[in-house]
Amino acid sequence: MLAGGNVHPVIIGLSYGATFISTSAIVGFGGWAAKLGLGIIWLVLLNILVGVLIAFIVFGKPTRRIGKRLGALTFPDLLGKVYRSNFMQYATGLVILIGMPLYSSAVLIGGGRFIEMVLDVPYLWALIGLTAVTAAYVVFGGLMAVMYTDALQGALMLVGMSAIMVLTLGAVGGLDGFQALTDMAPLVPADLASAGMVGWTSFPEVGSSTWYTLVTTIIMGVGIGVLAQPQLAVRFMTAGDGRSLNRAVPVGAVFILITTGAAYTMGALTNVYFYEHFGKISTEMTGNIDNIVPLFIDMAMPGWLVVMFALVLLAAAMSTMSSLFHSMGTAAGHDIWVHLRRSKLFLERAHGGDEDASKLRVNKLATFVMIAVSLGLALIMPFDIIARATAMFMGLCAAAFLPAYAMAVFSERPSALGAKASLVMGSVTWGLWTVFVHRAEAEVLGIAGLLTGRASLLAYPWDMVDALFIALPLSVAALAIGTLVERRRGSATGA
């Protein structure tokens, strides 16, 4: 599950970057850059600062050291062994199984939409083909195959996105394209202008609904949530030593700078290209912002680059999905099934036998099931969903896992009670806020409207604040209170 635990730093850096950057970043967030402008570039900075520097240097080293000492094989396994708690292991695995299909389906949609638009393949068959190819090497190859394939795909993504950035600038008149984009400010749609957007090269008005969406959901949701991504944390445990992680940092940083920087810049500049050639801004060219980047590539790029970009997107989708499918499979088999088969829920005869063989069977079965779930979600999810679904999953991970994960790797006396309270508080609060308050999701789900007759239970600005900003502070508070209670109990009993 850990690819032998001695992987080369370049492979770690490229694999981490390729897993982190997916069709969600290129197609989904590129589409949001087309809609809201270059303010999303702040996410690139946060991705490098938090997603690489802090993740590798601050979290990565203790994660590798503690994971190796405890023999942890997965992210839930790490938390379970640090806190000596079966609950932490299977509850973390359960959150992964519930939340991760959101992200995997978003990645699938990104690849499927591009294949549909550029290669003229029906959307259903595009999704099925992409899913089948990815599933094959995940199920039969394990994490070693996944990591080395990710690294190869990452190298392809670097070359492809660099070429696309150069040709995008060429298509809009070079650096003058940024001035042209600035001059297009009067063309901002009326609904976005009334919501606080002032132009594609300016940040939205502070406190406006557009500002809340861009900052609390898009930028901070992904920027903070990356620290607690189970499929990324496992990468740290594959390093042979701490120096390997240090050497992987520049590789990961350059990778993310080029891939996300190019994707977001290209997304915003599509407005210049479409307006100059068709007299329309990007969102007027297609009713689905998830189609903006594929449409631009198909119309503006030479045929050879369309083929290269198709390979880049397939590489991005497959590298991320392979890691997500692997994480969901191991969460079910290694982190949940092992505890279930030992419980009273199963007959006594089910407790015996070869546990490793049983676990492997469940891993593969669960992987197939979660692949099917992801495919089903990709078929039914609404337009404009890629970036939002990604931010939702990463926000859930931050709220549910980050406080307990931080205590696990930094505290000499990690509190099991504090960790349990934090995980429950973070995940439950995130779920309730998403379903009943945050308008972007509450309106789509319709549960709040059905029960109360209101799309959101709270008025502006609370209905625009992402669940992460409520759930994460409460999760931290629960960790602190639980830790204090546990230590006071220990003092009272003389422990």
- pLDDT interval class at 2 (50, 70, 90): very low
Q: List, for residues 95-128, the tens digit of each pLDDT value.
A: 999 999 988 898 888 888 888 887 788 989 989 9
- What confidence score (pLDDT) does residue 250 get? 84
Cα angle 444-446-449, degrees, rounded to a multiple of 5:
135
* Closest C-alpha to 381, from 9, 112, 11: 112
What residue spans define the domains of the chain? 3-385, 415-495
How far apart are the C-alpha atoms of 280 and 295, rounded to whole Å? 13
Outline where DSSP puts E strands in 31-93.
Answer: none
Q: Which two tokens stand for residue 93?
A: 């695995």
- pLDDT interval class at 385 (50, 70, 90): confident
- pLDDT interval class at 184 (50, 70, 90): very high
Q: Which two tokens stand for residue 436?
A: 């009943």
Neighbouring C-alpha atoms within 13 Å toward the C-beta of 313: 32
- The verdict on whether omega for the bond into residue 122 sits within 30 degrees of 0, i.e. cis, is no
- pLDDT interval class at 212 (50, 70, 90): very high
User: What spatial distance separates the first Cα and last Cα of the chain, rounded to whole Å?
Assistant: 37
How far apart are the C-alpha atoms of 230 and 397, rounded to whole Å? 8
- pLDDT interval class at 131 (50, 70, 90): confident
The pTM of this model reads 0.87
The structural architecture, per CATH, of the domain 3-385 is Up-down Bundle (1.20)
Q: List, for residues 397-447, the tens digit of each pLDDT value.
A: 999 999 999 999 999 899 999 999 999 999 999 999 999 999 988 888 888
* Residues 461, 213 contacting (CB under 8 angstroms): no
- pLDDT interval class at 1 (50, 70, 90): very low
